[in-house]
Chains A and B, each alone.
Chain A
Amino acid sequence: MVETDTTAVRVAGLTKRFGSGEASVLALRGVDLEVRTGELLMLVGPSGCGKTTLISVLAGIMDKTDGALSVLGVDPSAMSVNDRTRWRGEHIGFVFQAFNLMPALTAAENVSIPLLIRNVPQTEALQRARAMLERVELADRADALPEQLSGGQQQRVAIARALVHEPQLVVCDEPTSSLDHETGRHVMEILHGMTRASRRTLIVVTHDARIFGFADRIARMDDGRVVAVEAGAANAVPASPTSAGQELERGRDPHLQVVPTT
């Protein structure tokens, strides 16, 4: 699709309802959003506003309820369960707040999983995993088990895992909120650096004001909707220092003061 050349994700009037009847929760109440190919979009907003739900639907691990959805040119909600699973394996990378590394596997083995899923032979997969670990500055810890790694190191392993199969879209849910500020920043630098070079689209849900500076744009959600999309600092190199992104990065943006730090 021509559209995907410039637009990775296009969402209009997207809704998501959990449950049915009296007890149902309308977590997304008509989200309109466009994510450009190759950009780093941050998704911010108060707890419970629907950030995780939105990226779950975008990444094809949750069905939408209604609305128009196009991710990398297709609507994952329209696919069969197996097709969608394979589509995720091909095109999507995941970074989780809780790292979600397999405790019984070494760092390199963990990183090789997305390649094994795509039937890359094991030796080649491990080679590429090691190369990837080098890029996240963990070449010397390739044979360590997750429990032998610090939180920051584990998240870097998870980033290597999310990128090793070169997905076009990477979704990250609070990638830095289990880490201390310094480590979180370092992890974000690595993630940013690794996606910058490629035309890879990155959506990062975060509460962490210190990493706002990495964003090309920042989408602010509230109560199941995207209420504002503003330019971030990263693409504002030639722009004025008072751009919204700069404000956001310093946590001084009045709109963002409602963001809790939990």
Chain B
Amino acid sequence: MLQIALKMLTGDRLKYFGLIAGIAFAALLIAQQASILVGFIRQTGGFIRDTAQADLWLMDPQVRFSQDPVPMRDTVAQLARGVDGVQWAVPLFQGYTRGKLPDGTRITLILVGLDDATLMGGPPQMVQGELRDLRNDRAVLIDAVSSPKKLLMKQGGGRALTVGDRFTVNENEVQIAGSYEGRRSFFWEPVVYTTYSRALTLVPPERNQLSFVLLKLVPGADIARVRAAIERRTGLKTLTNEEFIERTGDYIASETGIIVNFGMAIALGFLIGTLVAGQTFYNFTLDNLRHYGALKAMGVTDGRLGGMVLLQALVVAVLGYCIGVGLAAATGKLMESSGLAFSMPWQIPAITAMAILGVSAIAALLSLRRVVLLEPAVVFKS
């Protein structure tokens, strides 16, 4: 009987493909929008990942995300260094500031100052020059990936800044000594690296300038104990890289409305999918009602008819799902290679699968209701 159900399903090519297309469309929409959302949220951790040679970040407890440092006293790095189990502790400056390109184009940039002695927390991958070139006079490093767009001289320069060019940060001239492979970041502003001491000369003076302290533990140290000791000693907060990435992602997700926007797109996909696929499947069953009536008259029980309808729904759901999620993954590859946010962890296909199965189950059950309520006596109506 199940084979008959499959033949009924595939017998009318047009309706069969219509059904699969409807489900595929819903799956595509759900998986794609969710992946773009996750992609965006993931990108918010870009800066932290680039700076991730350390084990712990020490920061003011009020810091909400990676681009939101609350200045601390310069002495806390010293304090942290004194804690048992800390191998090294280096200061990191990070802040938004203004710059001006040679042609007069004004930009906002994220200035990062690395510990002069160790250059810890620098970008992991250089494109031109080396990290230690930062020790040259006025040296800064720019992001090789984003600078063609973000360091473009729009006021007549007609090109983007490259290694060797000079520009000003708060009226102080700097020179581009090298470039690094930047990660795509949710935070749009270009990240410019320099040394900690030079960073302090480039930004307006304030009493406290220290943004973060990067901490490395001695191998085998009990991280929980060391964290507790540092926090007790400094009165500040320590976060691991993962914790900091999570805190940043959570903040962006909850404060920007990004979740709501994408959530609506996902819900819309779900709704349209439900309507299209549900409606098509329901119509498919209605068109076949006469045949179900005949089968009923000939002795097929409601239970078996239910199995047939559910099997049809399942087949359509699985095929539509595979096509839809496959398309989402394929377009995702394209989007990723063109620099757009897209990330599909396994949870997305899993949740999409549940959504699609849910939609199909609803459609199947609604259709099934009609089949069960059907009087077999309809077979004698001509």
A residues near B, CB below 8 A?
52, 55-56, 59, 61-62, 81-82, 85-90, 92, 94, 96-98, 100, 102-105, 109, 113-114, 116-118, 122, 173-174, 178
| Chain B, residue nearest A145 (CB) | B11
> Given the complex, which residues of A lie within 8 Å of B380, measured CB to CB?
52, 55-56, 61, 96-97, 173
CB atoms of A104 and B7 under 8 A apart: yes
Contact of A90 among B8, B294, B299 (CB under 8 A): B299
12 contacts between A and B (CB under 8 A): A55-B380, A61-B375, A61-B377, A62-B375, A82-B301, A85-B299, A89-B298, A104-B10, A105-B7, A113-B4, A116-B1, A173-B380
> Given the complex, which residues of B lie within 8 Å of A114, measured CB to CB?
298-299
7 residue pairs, one from A and one from B, having the closest CB atoms: A89-B299, A104-B11, A61-B376, A100-B294, A62-B377, A104-B7, A88-B299
- 0 or 1 for each of B67-108: is its CB under 8 Å from A? (1 = yes): 000000000000000000000000000000000000000000
Question: How many A-B pairs fall under 8 Å by CB?
Answer: 85
| Chain A, residue nearest B11 (CB) | A104
For the residues of B in contact with A, the DSSP-based class is helix
CB atoms of A117 and B300 under 8 A apart: yes
Question: Which of B1, B291, B297 is the most central at the interface, judged by chain A CB atoms within 10 Å of its CB?
Answer: B297
Q: For the complex, is B302 an interface residue (Cβ under 8 Å from A)? A: yes
Question: Which of A89, A114, A118 is the most central at the interface, judged by chain B CB atoms within 10 Å of its CB?
Answer: A89
> Given the complex, which residues of B lie within 8 Å of A88, measured CB to CB?
297-299
B residues near A, CB below 8 A?
1, 3-4, 7-8, 10-12, 290-291, 294-303, 375-377, 379-380, 382
In the assembly, what is the distance between CA of A102 and CA of B302, in Å?
A: 18
Could you list 12 further interchain pairs (A-B, Cβ under 8 angstroms) beyond the known A88-B298, A117-B300?
Answer: A82-B303, A85-B302, A86-B301, A94-B294, A97-B382, A100-B291, A100-B294, A102-B294, A104-B11, A117-B1, A117-B295, A178-B382
> Given the complex, which residues of A lie within 8 Å of B379, measured CB to CB?
61, 94, 96, 100
In the assembly, what is the distance between CA of A100 and CA of B377, in Å?
A: 13
> Given the complex, which residues of B lie within 8 Å of A103, measured CB to CB?
11
Contact (A109, B4) CB under 8 Å given A81-B302, A89-B298, A117-B298? yes
> Given the complex, which residues of A lie within 8 Å of B11, measured CB to CB?
102-105
Contact (A94, B298) CB under 8 Å given A113-B4, A122-B3, A174-B382? yes
